[in-house]
Amino acid sequence: MVRKWLVTGCSSGLGRALAVAAARAGDDVAITARDTAALSELVSAWPERVFPIPLELRDAAQCEEAVRAAAGQLGGIDVLVNNAGAGLFGAVEEVSDAEVRDQLETLVVGPWRLIRLVLPLMRARGRGHIVNVSSVAGRMTFPGLGAYVAGKHALEGMSRTLAVEVASQGIRVTVLEPGGFSTRYGTSLAESGRRMPEYTAVTAETLAGTRGMADNPGIGRPEDFAARLFDIVRADGPTPLCVPIGDDAYAYLEAVEQALREELTAARALTQGRSPSPATAP
């Protein structure tokens, strides 16, 4: 079966690796980037399988045109991969209203919009697969990345709800939670316009680690990410809704789950296990 993909954020990193993997597998792929010149190498390598489309996720009209163009070029859309994203570094107090809105437009509103646009097409075909690329940050926190963490948490919450809503329509939903991968995410990470010395010590490690991801040979390769995504899309039976990608992702999230269990136990003891205070006693 030749699958028809719409993949966002293909100029580099995970999206580019996925586009290559799909084309090599004989699938047809509509690939997007803000500047399609960054996609020329992919188009030259697979001119009959790869179709470049300009897309700025924060532009509603461009999103509509991108879905229309992809469906027209491919003859439908079987798989939507919401991969495009951007990061913002700054402590919660440092980040402005405008910066928060911009981050959430890219990480939540844009993907939500594309999903809304492709669902009627998938429903008409009686099948489809929506893949939202989140992060381990969708279930944990990193000091200095509050806006990014908020966006990924929101993306995962929406995805969990969507999965229940469309299950009876033959449409699958998958959330991928990559750990560390060697991409340009760290080098392209924007910094908030306001920086406060009160937060330097608590956020410095996050910034240094994120900036160094692109040149770190000890973390995941985009090609491995693409291979795991293909395993999920091609699986015949049911697959988990949320899938961590990378050994470090499992280590991170297992620690998060343990901490949440401990927190829940402590909360229960605090709210259900103590005697009423004198002020509230009958």
Strand 242-245 vs strand 128-133: parallel, antiparallel, or unpaired?
Answer: unpaired
Rg of the chain over all Cα atoms, to the nearest angstrom: 21
- Contact call for residues 24 and 229 (beta carbons, < 8 A): no
From 4, 148, 159, 182, the catalytic residue: 148
From 4, 11, 135, 152, the catalytic residue: 152
134 labelled catalytic: yes
From 4, 11, 134, 159, the catalytic residue: 134
| Whole-number Cα distances in Å, 58 to 14, 29, 69, 89, 194 | 20, 22, 18, 19, 23
44 labelled catalytic: no
Bridge partners (DSSP) listed for residue 128? 171
CA 231 to chain CA mean position, Å:
18
Q: How many CB atoms lie within 10 A of CB 207?
A: 19
159 labelled catalytic: no
Question: What residues act catalytically?
Answer: 134, 148, 152
